[in-house]
Amino acid sequence: MDGGALLSVPDRDLSAARMKVSRAAWAAKYYRTFDHDAVLRIAEAVAKAGNEKAADYADWAVRETGYGVVEHKTIKNRLCTHDLLDYYRDLDLTAPRVDHDRKIIEIPKPAGVVFALAPVTNPVATVYYKAMLAILSRNAIVLSPHPFAKACSADAARHLAAAAEAAGAPSGLIQCVEEPSVPLVKDIMASDKINVIMATGGNAMVRAAYSSGNPALGVGSGNAVAYVDPSANVDAAAKCLVDSKSFDNAILCTNESIVLTLEENRGNVERALRTAGAHICNDADTDRLRDYLWTGKGFNTEAIGKSATWIADKAGIRVNPATRILVPVVPRPGQDDLLFQEKLCPVLTLTAAVDFQQAITFAKHCATRGAGHSAAFHGTDNARLVAYSQAMPVYRVVVNVPCSQGAAGFSTYLPPSFMIGTGYAGRSSVGENVGPQHLVHWTRIAFGRDVPADLDGIDLSGTMHTPAPAPTQPQLQPTASAPAVDKDELRQLILQELRSLRGST
């Protein structure tokens, strides 16, 4: 007998994924009225659990995908635990808000079931990040990892789910598809049982999310330009660029793709970059690098997330073993050089414009390839900073910091995020760093302008409650026994219910 089955078998993974969505809907039903303390308790537990295993999962992710640097992935994972929680701790998305002046009361309504994609580039950080956002916004989440990172993503999700449940979250609040595939993801994205999609990944996937018929928060790819003005401290700027571009081997969409300066400053920038650990390519090296990175079929995926020395070796460029990034040089800022496209590896293309006006024009054009994303500005000339920011079709311009980390909220006060909203310029519904507030809508109770209304006299306590223990299911075993509710228990339940009814009126 050959290996093929004689009968066709329904897609087991797809039906398991559909059932996960149903389970999530149950969890969301119970979780949507948890109060802020209960939410923070769960978030705290999940942050702690995530932090404890940040390094293990970083290691696992690098092993499984071959992308990035363990130490840096650890930092990324950590960012999504306590840092993220601290950032949002005081953002209460659970209690109604009362605006006496405008006579409006707002009641938060979580989305329900979030279906979230986790890309291969940040397979664990994204799981951490999206799970935390779901928890903080009182939503349930079903994650779908990238097929090349499914083991580490799914394990991380299980780890967080266990911590959440132990802290009182309903069973099924955090789940992960175990065997993802494109048809499965498309099927679930189009399901009327999910309430919002958080799409991160390749452009095709993000477009599919927007075409699914469901509300989606999708983000596009980046192609960040870093402009180094002659007013910059060039050594500090170069250090930022090298730190940023080598961070996790440039596997963040916020990493710089191009460093742009003015002709007069190019020599300075080259020297400073070299000092900071960059290998500045001569013409021949630049050509080798271009030939290696772009094959007939587009960007050479084997280079993604690899180190500078690894890539140099493959491209046939001799470099110092301490080299942290490769800098090909394209002397004139033209439109067509492939080296001006996005590169998720530590390769940063240097170019120079004749004057600031040309710099802006070029930067703008480059940014249309990563529209809505991020850019960096190095310098102290604030007039130029404003002109640059006004001209660039991006929603973040970070100043005198590494863009990889800065735009994602590591070294700036931007919200820590692994979803960098690319807004209308980048064909997305959201232009900010995505946070839990994007997963909640509010019911607004509005009184007439001229009609007297006593907003203080309104009891809003019924909109949330300290959670009852009922819906948690400690183990998910096929032999788990369902509750037998006998009459006495029922009577107890009724009494409790009556008491709580009385309490709330």
Partner 1 sequence: MFNYGYFSFDSKEALLEKAAEYWNPGKVSFWKDAGTPMVIDRREGYYLHDMSGKRLIDLHLNGGTYNFGHRHRELVDVLKSGLDYFDMGNHWFPSVARAAFAEKLVKTAPHMKYAVFGAGGAEAVEIAIKTARYATKRKKIISIIKGYHGHSGLSVATGDERFTKIFLADRPDEFIQVPFNDADALERELKKGDVAAFIIETIPATYGFPLPHDGYLKTCQDLCHKYGAKFISDEVQTGLMRTGVMWGWQGYGLTPDIFVCGKGLGGGIYPISACLVNEECGQWQIEDGAAHISTSGGSELGCLVGHHVIEMLQRPEVVSNIDFVANFFAQSMAEMMARHSDIFCGVRQRGVVLGLEFDHPEGAVAVSRALYENGVWAIFSSLDKRVLQFKPGVVKDVDLCQEIMDRFDAAMPRARQLLKTSRRIA
Q: Which positions touch partner 1 (CB under 8 A)?
A: 6-10, 15-16, 19-20, 22-23, 25-26, 28-29, 171-172, 193, 470-471, 473, 476-487, 490, 493-494, 497-498
Nearer to partner 1, 186 or 365 (CB): 186
CB of 181 to partner 1, least distance (A): 17
Could you give the angle at the alpha carbon of 146 between the alpha carbons of 472 and 151, nearest 5°?
60
Active site residue 253: yes
CB of 498 to partner 1, least distance (A): 6
Measured from the CB atom, the residue of 25 and 387 that comes closer to partner 1 is 25
Going from the C-alpha of 103 to that of each of 92, 94, 95, 425, 443, the distances in angstroms are 20, 20, 17, 35, 14
Of residues 6 and 383, the one with the C-beta less far from partner 1: 6
Q: Using CA atoms, how far apart are residues 175 and 115, in angstroms rounded to an integer? A: 10
Instruction: Indicate the SS3 state at residue 299.
Output: strand
Minimal distance, residue 179 CB to partner 1, in Å: 13
Closer by beta carbon to partner 1, 204 or else 484: 484
Put residue 417 in one of left, alpha, beta given phi > 0 → left and psi -120 to 50 → alpha: beta
| Closest of 256, 258, 188, 268 to residue 231, by C-alpha | 268
CB of 177 or CB of 360, closer to partner 1: 177
In this structure, the number of other CB atoms found within 10 A of the CB of residue 187 comes to 15
Q: How far is the CB of 231 from partner 1 (least distance, A)?
A: 59
Q: CB 106 → partner 1: shortest distance, Å?
A: 24
Per DSSP, the residues of 413-462 read SSPP-S-B--TGGGT-S--SB--GGGGEEEEEEE--TTS---GGG---GG
What's the half-sphere exposure (Cβ side, CA atoms, 13 Å) at 468? 8
The 8 Å CB, 24+ separation contacts for 461-465 are 461/504, 462/504, 463/33, 463/95, 463/96, 463/107, 464/33, 464/34, 464/35, 464/36, 464/94, 464/95, 465/33, 465/34, 465/35, 465/500
DSSP state of 86: H
Give 301's DSSP letter.
Answer: G
How far apart CA 179 and CA 390 sit, in angstroms, is: 44
Residue number, 4 or 448, with CB nearest to partner 1: 4
Count other Cβ atoms within 10 Å, centred on residue 166.
Answer: 14
**Shortest distance (Å) from residue 170 CB to partner 1:** 9
Q: Which is nearer to partner 1, 446 or 485 (CB)?
A: 485
As measured in angstroms, the least distance from the Cβ of 497 to partner 1 is: 6
SS3 105: strand
Distance CA(298)–CA(282), nearest Å, equals: 23
Half-sphere exposure of 138 (CA within 13 A, CB side): 24
CA distances to 227, 286, 465 from 338, in Å: 19, 11, 57
Start-to-end Cα distance in the chain: 71
- Phi-psi label, residue 329: left if phi above 0, alpha if psi -120 to 50, beta otherwise: beta
* Catalytic pick among 80, 253, 366, 403: 253
Q: Which is nearer to partner 1, 29 or 36 (CB)?
A: 29
The CB-of-127 to partner 1 minimum distance in angstroms stands at 19
Q: Is the CB of 10 or the CB of 452 nearer to partner 1?
A: 10
Query: Taking a C-beta distance cutoff of 8 angstroms, is the pair 110, 28 a contact?
Result: yes
Q: How far is the CB of 445 from partner 1 (least distance, A)?
A: 23
For 146, the token pair is 């990238």
Closest by CA position to 115, among listed 217, 221, 253: 217
Mind telling me the catalytic residues? 253
